[in-house]
Every structure is written in structure tokens, then in C-alpha cells.
Amino acid sequence: FNQHSSRLRIATQKSGRLSQESQALFTSCGLKINLREQRLIAHVENMDIDILRVRDDDIPGLVMDGVCDLGIVGENVLEEESLQRQLDNEPCDYDILSRLSFGGCRLSIAVQQEADYQGPTSLAGKTIATTYPRLLNRYLKQQGVQARIVNLKGSVEVAPRAGLADAICDLVSTGATLEANGLREVEVIYRSKAVLIQRKNVSDAAQLKIINTLMPRISAVMQANESKYIMLHAPKAKLNEIIALLPGAENPTLLPLAGNDEQMAVHVVSSETLFWETMEQLKALGASSILVLPIEKMME
Ligand code: ATP
Ligand code: MG
């Protein structure tokens, strides 16, 4: 493909934990993607954008080397690659355009269930297996602890049982994998989410125009994803108490109910969802007909 075309090239994960949500984000932003088979490049039909589908490990480098204009990747992979490139004196410039609302996880140190652990100093002289040697090395340095790092590309969680390491440093979201492998999470060393990054020095006017169209749409989708539309009927006497329970509801809409002087309808856009506990509290205050609706798009 043409290096000098002004079509915008976005690198995304081909298949894995970020691919579905990256895809969904593009679709929500109005991109019509022709996703035939397992193609490396998918052309967007209604905008001058090409989506490159690659291993997530390759995404930071593609953007930092200027081969792709944008990329969606986990901060953990991005930061690891940056540290490695700084060490190797390779280019590692990029801008973060947006922190996305998916791909959340943490990079944690875990030890065997029965191991004695009193804090980071317990790791001194131990062997730790990880896919993120640079991030782990930075953490150990900060803690002033010397340990041996074994770099494994996969199956990190079985390393202690296999006798390859005393501890591991791996990505965790629920902790179920750790538990299934007889491991105990003892330190969180990095918290990550997916981010949208851009190469330095994008100067092509057509490309900038596409980015400027895309960005407000992405913010709108992210904001909508994190928000809910809440509707309920509230007794007038308890209005203030009920509104105080609604998360992030600055300006609720209050509407009269036909033929009912005791109650009002309350509508709010909430910055978070309602938990069951809050719904039960609302009900206890006399609220009824409580609805929590997803929001598809939002522009302020
Ligand atoms: P690839 O084949 O593209 O190299 P991969 O196996 O390296 O894929 P995935 O397991 O698909 O990567 O994870 C991609 C990213 O998803 C991670 O780098 C991380 O940012 C994020 N992520 C979110 N939750 C988790 C989790 N529980 N475990 C691992 N990664 C997670
Ligand atoms: Mg990978």
C-alpha cells in the first residue's frame, strides 16, 4: 500500500481482548468497515480510513515509527515498548489522544498461595517471570529490590508451579486465573486501559481533517458508554432525598404526572449506572417505576 496516500491508517488488535471493543468504537463513530475474512487491511467505505489489524505488541512501534497514524493499544504494552525503545535509543514519540473506557486491567505481582510475603523486600533474590520485563524492572528499581527477571511471552501463570520462577508479574482483571493457578496477588505495579495514540507530526491536511472529525465522536461515544438515562416516579415530599441518591445528576428534569399530585417524574443523565443497593434505597424512599436506560450517543 501507498506510504504517501492521505488515507488515515489506524492500527488495531486483530484478535484478542481489545479487538471487539475497538471494532465497536469505530462502528459507533459511524465508520462503515468492510471486514472481509482475515485481511490485514480493512478499508472504511465512507471515510478515507484504513484499519490495520495486527498483534497488539506491534501497535506502539507501528505508530512510533510513523507507519500508522493512529493506534488503539493497552497502556501496559505502550509503556513497556516505550521503556524498551528508550533503552535501545530508538524513536518512541507519540501523543495520547484519548484514554478509552475499555481494556481495563492491572499488572500485578503474584506469589504462590503458601509463600511467605511481607512486602516488596520479600522479592529480593527471587526469580520473577513476566511478559513485561521493563515495567517490572522499573518497579523493582523504585522499591530498591534486586530480583531476577525471566522474560516469558506466554503461560506466565504456570511458571511458579513448573519451578521456573518464585513469583510472576502478569495482567489481572478478575484474579480468577491467578486463583486457578494457586497464586496470590500481592502488589499492583501498573493500572492500564486501552488508549488511542497518534504518531508525532501528522501534518497532512486531509488526515488532520479526519482526526478532527473522529475525536469528538470518540469522546461522545465514550461519554455515552459511561452514562445512563434514569427515569423514576418520586413522591414530592422526598424529591430532594431521592435526587441526592442519583450519581452525578446535576440538573434533573422534573415533570408533573397527569392526574397525580403526590408524585413527579424525575429524569436524569447519570455519569454512572445505578447499583441495586441504590435502587433499593430509592424504592425505600417511595420511588417507583425506576428505569435505567443505556445511552447510545451524547454530545454536549
Ligand atoms: P496478540 O495476539 O494481539 O499479541 P495478546 O494475547 O498479547 O494478543 P490479549 O490477551 O488479547 O493480548 O490482551 C490485549 C490487551 O488487553 C492487554 O495488553 C491488556 O491491555 C488488555 N487486557 C484487559 N484485561 C486483560 C486481562 N485480564 N488479561 C490480559 N490482558 C488484558
Ligand atoms: Mg500481544
Residues 86-143 pLDDT 10s? 999 999 999 999 999 999 999 999 999 999 999 999 999 999 999 999 999 999 999 9
The residue whose C-alpha atom lies closest to atom 11 belonging to ligand 1 is 16
**Angle (nearest 5°) at CA 208 between 219 and 22:** 40
The residue whose C-alpha atom lies closest to atom 27 belonging to ligand 1 is 173
Query: Mean pLDDT, to the nearest integer, of 23-48?
Result: 89
Residue 56 Cα to ligand 2 midpoint, Å, equals: 5
Q: Distance (Å, rounded) from C-alpha 112 to C-alpha 183? A: 4
Ligand closest to 18 (CA) is: 1
Task: Name which of 15, 96, 101 is nearest 60 in CA terms.
Answer: 96
pLDDT of residue 4: 54
pLDDT of residue 226: 85
**18, 54, 155: which to mutate for ligand 1, most atoms within 8 A of CB?**
18
CB 296 within 8 A of CB 222: no
pLDDT of residue 112: 97
Strand residue runs (E) in 131-224: 148-151, 167-172, 183-192, 194-198
Ligand closest to 73 (CA) is: 1
Residue 16 Cα to ligand 1 midpoint, Å, equals: 6
- Secondary structure of 155-184 in HEC code, one letter for each residue: CHHHCCCCCCCCEEEEEECCCHHHHHCCEE
Which residues have CB atoms below 5 A from the ion given as ligand 2?
Answer: 56-57
Residue bearing the bigger pLDDT, 51 or 272: 51
Please report the atom of ligand 1 found closest to the CA of residue 77.
18
Residue 174 Cα to ligand 1 midpoint, Å, equals: 13
pLDDT of residue 282: 96
Report the half-sphere exposure of 147 (CA within 13 A, side-chain side): 31
Residue 286 Cα to ligand 2 midpoint, Å, equals: 51
Q: How far apart are the first and last CA of the chain?
A: 39
Residues with CB under 6 A from ligand 1: 13, 16-18, 55-57, 74, 76-77, 103, 105, 171, 173, 192
Q: Distance (Å, rounded) from C-alpha 1 to C-alpha 10? A: 14
pLDDT of residue 298: 85
The residue whose C-alpha atom lies closest to atom 29 belonging to ligand 1 is 171
> Looking at residue 57, what DSSP letter applies?
G
pLDDT of residue 37: 59
Ligand closest to 78 (CA) is: 1
Bridge partners (DSSP) listed for residue 205: none
Task: Name which of 191, 212, 228, 194 is nearest 24 in CA terms.
Answer: 194
Residue 278, C-alpha cell as written in the block: 441504590
The residue whose C-alpha atom lies closest to atom 14 belonging to ligand 1 is 17
10 Å Cβ neighbour count for 268?
21
Query: Mean pLDDT, to the nearest integer, of 294-299?
Result: 88
pLDDT over 70 (residue 38): no
Residues 220-250 pLDDT 10s? 999 898 889 999 999 999 999 999 999 876 7
Task: Name which of 116, 111, 118 is nearest 165 in CA terms.
Answer: 111
Residue bearing the bigger pLDDT, 296 or 51: 51
pLDDT of residue 53: 96
Please report the atom of ligand 1 found closest to the CA of residue 74.
20
At residue 39 the predicted structure's pLDDT band, cuts being 50, 70 and 90, is: confident
What percent of the chain is modeled with pLDDT above 90? 89
Whole-prediction pTM = 0.88
Residue 15 Cα to ligand 2 midpoint, Å, equals: 10
Residue 95 CA from chain centroid, whole number: 17
Bridge partners (DSSP) listed for residue 95: 198
**81, 105, 106: which to mutate for ligand 1, most atoms within 8 A of CB?**
105
How would you class 156 by CB atoms within 10 Å of its CB: exposed for 0-12, middle for 13-18, buried for 19 or more?
Answer: buried
**20, 56, 73, 195: which to mutate for ligand 1, most atoms within 8 A of CB?**
56
10 Å Cβ neighbour count for 76?
22
pLDDT of residue 252: 93
Q: What is the ipTM of this complex?
A: 0.97
Ligand closest to 15 (CA) is: 1
CA 25 → CA 109, 191, 217, distances in Å? 31, 22, 9
What percent of the chain is modeled with pLDDT above 70? 97
Residues 174-225 pLDDT 10s? 999 999 999 999 999 999 999 999 999 999 999 999 999 999 999 999 989 8
Residues 264-284 pLDDT 10s? 999 999 888 788 999 999 999
CB 60 within 8 A of CB 77: yes
Q: Distance (Å, rounded) from C-alpha 6 to C-alpha 3? A: 9
Residue bearing the bigger pLDDT, 36 or 296: 296
